[in-house]
Amino acid sequence: MKRTRAFIHTLYEVPKDAEVVSHVLLLRGGYIYPVAAGIYALLPLGHRVVENISIIVREEMNRIDGVELTMPVLNPAELWKETGRYYDIGDELIRLKDRKQREFVLAMTHEEVVTDIARKFIRSYRDLPFMLYQIQTKIRDEARPRAGVIRLREFLMKDAYSFHGDFNDLDKYYPKVYEAYRRIFERCGLRTAAIEADSGIMGGSGSHEFMLESPNGEDQFVICSLCGYQANTERAIGVKPGVEGLDDISSAPPLEKVHTPGVKTISDLMKFFEIDRGKFIKSVAYLADGRLVLAAIRGDFEISETKLRNRLKAIKMEIAPEEILIEKGYHPGFLSPIGINDPSVEVLIDSSLEYPAMMVAGANEEDYHYKNVVPGRDFDNSRTVDIAEVREGDVCARCGKGKLEIRRGIELGHTFKLGTKYTDEKSMNVTYLDDQGREQRVVMGCYGIGIERLMAAVVEKWHDENGIIWPVSVAPYDVYLIVIGKGESEKTLGERLYSELNSKFEVLWDDRQESPGVKFKDADLIGIPFRLVVSTKLMKENAVEIKVRQSGEVFRCAPEDVSARLEELKQGMKNSLR
């Protein structure tokens, strides 16, 4: 392709609203175009990269017996009502009606449609197992789209769904997907961490996120410095050390109510009582699916709302409004689990409060706190749960020795063991007859990869101060050809190389009437793996110049050797990605 016909328009100024590296370089390089917040057009260069990524994804899905199909983005609402997700998902799910007032949704995932397809055709154990996948548009009314194509409202996703006769078969298949994902990301030039994750609205018995460590990542995960344990911070568990405790609870002084006018925050309480953060009991009230919940935790920990929501099996959860608390006789800023006997209020105690110690807590009375509070004596802590965010430096709960490190990352893929969430009788009721003629429940798995997000992640990993450095596996073109000199001989050699190389490589010839400096700068910005230069000076030496974008190495060879040299270099770069 000649540059003047390729619809490539680069920018030299950094766009004002672009903050992360991938957003800046994909805009400047002419790969994407912002249509609206969280909605981007893929320009020709971006389209080519996405197509190359999709080829890799298809090859790896086909390798594990995946079968591709295409499902509609416009879904009848009754399917989503069958599973309950029509009601459970908030504003992220776009709901609409057609001209006949029939209700539809714009699919953010396709569990409902694929399960509906499967139940029409699954009859016996002979039909199982199988896996269906697609690369299709998804719509999510994201409240805070950010970072260019990393968090979008409309996006391409590879979503795959496997169907099994039982959980054992799902467990056997799941590692195959794990390995396929590892190969996909490695072929794109990325090494990922597969971490234990929260299943969220997808549900199921287990899930993993494939995370690329990146300072621009919006997700956090932990890793143990010793045993290698990895988990999303929403799921991770660390050892919670005790505070200075009591050898004998019976020797502790009784509760003492203290007047604390206007003293509500932990920082204010630390000054008032002159004790450290770990000696306080922090209590937060939530509304979870309409019911009032009080969560109590030690003052040196923070409540993980994801863990709390999962523990409660709540669909919707929010901080309880003050007026509701006051109506029930409680006072924000002075809450605690002490003396709460109201059956309409559910109390959850974090495991950081399982140790007997002298502490300070709210008195459930405005402007008053209790001191000499002893968990287990003054409130029931016999059934503690983990609802705490893990902290940097906590001891790993798995090995009991290593320290947990918190890192930032970009989630590239997510796998779920859905189990029977979508196939049970309360949902879409998908069954089959086993070899004994008995009816059995179908078991499912679900596996997703964001395609544009994967493109952005490659840029986050592979770039320098001059622009993008595409791995050869996903680059929009292999070779960026530049001819320097206005003579016929230079042009003729350029035409010859362009014609010869196009049979083996994707070549972009910068045939613009621009200076060599402008062309070199654009070649670096766009990030094509090899830059091939024909010039008057080089021709006098019967040579052309090949520059490797990734390493900066420069090679000279005779024009007749260019194809073989490029093939050697390209193969070497492919091998380095394996």
Q: Kindly state whether residue 378 falls inside one of the protein's structural domains.
A: no
Q: Kindly state whether residue 164 falls inside one of the protein's structural domains.
A: yes
Reply yes or no on whether the pLDDT at 204 is more than 50.
Answer: no
Determine the length of the chain.
578
Contact 460, 432 (CB under 8 A): no
Under 8 Å CB-to-CB from 486, ≥6 apart: which residues? none
Reply yes or no on whether the pLDDT at 132 is more than 70.
Answer: yes
Task: Indicate whether 104 and 209 sit together in one domain.
Answer: yes
Q: Kindly state whether residue 348 falls inside one of the protein's structural domains.
A: yes
Phi and psi, residue 13, nearest 5° = -90, 145
Average pLDDT of the residues in 197-221: 72
Reply yes or no on whether the pLDDT at 552 is more than 90.
Answer: yes
- At 531, which CATH number? 3.40.50.800
Average pLDDT of the residues in 375-386: 89
Reply yes or no on whether the pLDDT at 3 is more than 90.
Answer: yes
Task: Indicate whether 215 and 317 sit together in one domain.
Answer: no
Average pLDDT of the residues in 543-553: 95
Confidence of residue 495 (pLDDT cuts 50, 70, 90): very high
Burial state string for 21-49 with b = 16 or more CB within 10 A and e = fewer than 16: bbbbbbbbbbbbebeeebebebbebbebb
Structure tokens at 215: 């300072």
How far apart CA 246 and CA 240 sit, in angstroms, is 17
Contact 546, 557 (CB under 8 A): yes
Confidence of residue 198 (pLDDT cuts 50, 70, 90): low
Largest CA distance in the chain: 100
Task: Indicate whether 351 and 254 sit together in one domain.
Answer: yes
Average pLDDT of the residues in 409-427: 93
Q: Kindly state whether residue 7 falls inside one of the protein's structural domains.
A: no
Task: Indicate whether 456 and 492 sit together in one domain.
Answer: no
Between residues 263 and 28, the one the model is more confident about: 28
Contact 151, 452 (CB under 8 A): no
What pLDDT does 203 receive? 44
Ranges of beta strands (E only) in 188-280 are 193-196, 206-213, 219-224, 230-232, 238-239, 256-259
Q: Is the dihedral of CA 347, 350, 355, 356 positive or negative?
A: negative
Residues 32-82: pLDDT tens digits? Answer: 999 999 999 999 999 999 999 999 999 999 999 999 999 999 999 999 999
Q: Kindly state whether residue 531 falls inside one of the protein's structural domains.
A: yes
Element (H, E) at 544: strand 544-548
Task: Indicate whether 69 and 202 sit together in one domain.
Answer: yes
Would residue 419 be called left, alpha or beta, if left means φ above 0 and alpha means ψ between -120 and 50 degrees? left
Contact 260, 269 (CB under 8 A): yes
Q: Kindly state whether residue 235 falls inside one of the protein's structural domains.
A: no
- Long-range contact list for 555-564, CB < 8 A, 24+ apart? 559/493, 559/496, 559/497, 562/497, 562/500, 562/501, 562/532, 563/500, 563/501, 563/504, 563/505
Average pLDDT of the residues in 444-458: 96
Between residues 357 and 48, the one the model is more confident about: 48
Residues 499-518: pLDDT tens digits? Answer: 999 999 999 999 999 999 99
Average pLDDT of the residues in 342-352: 91
How far apart CA 101 and CA 316 sit, in angstroms, is 28
Confidence of residue 353 (pLDDT cuts 50, 70, 90): very high
Average pLDDT of the residues in 354-378: 90
How far apart CA 324 and CA 332 sit, in angstroms, is 10
How far apart CA 280 and CA 299 sit, in angstroms, is 5
How confident is the prediction for the chain on average, in pLDDT?
A: 91
Task: Indicate whether 197 and 335 sit together in one domain.
Answer: no
- At 143, which CATH number? 3.30.930.10
Q: Kindly state whether residue 257 falls inside one of the protein's structural domains.
A: yes
Task: Indicate whether 207 and 261 sit together in one domain.
Answer: no
Residues 293-328: pLDDT tens digits? Answer: 999 999 999 999 988 988 888 878 899 998 888 888
Task: Indicate whether 365 and 511 sit together in one domain.
Answer: no
Q: Beta strand 479-484 with 530-535: parallel, antiparallel or unpaired?
A: parallel
Domain that holds residue 538: 477-576
Structure tokens at 15: 């766009």
Task: Indicate whether 193 and 100 sit together in one domain.
Answer: yes
The total number of structural domains that make up the chain: 3
Task: Indicate whether 506 and 417 sit together in one domain.
Answer: no
For 175, the 3-state DSSP assignment is helix
- At 263, which CATH number? 3.90.960.10
Task: Indicate whether 173 and 68 sit together in one domain.
Answer: yes
Q: Kindly state whether residue 236 falls inside one of the protein's structural domains.
A: no
How far apart CA 270 and CA 247 sit, in angstroms, is 24
Residues 226-282: pLDDT tens digits? Answer: 888 888 887 888 898 887 766 677 778 999 999 998 887 888 888 898 888 889 999
The whole-angstrom distance between residue 122's C-alpha and the CA centroid of its chain comes to: 32
What pLDDT does 143 receive? 85
Task: Indicate whether 80 and 193 sit together in one domain.
Answer: yes
Place of tokens 């909605």: 39
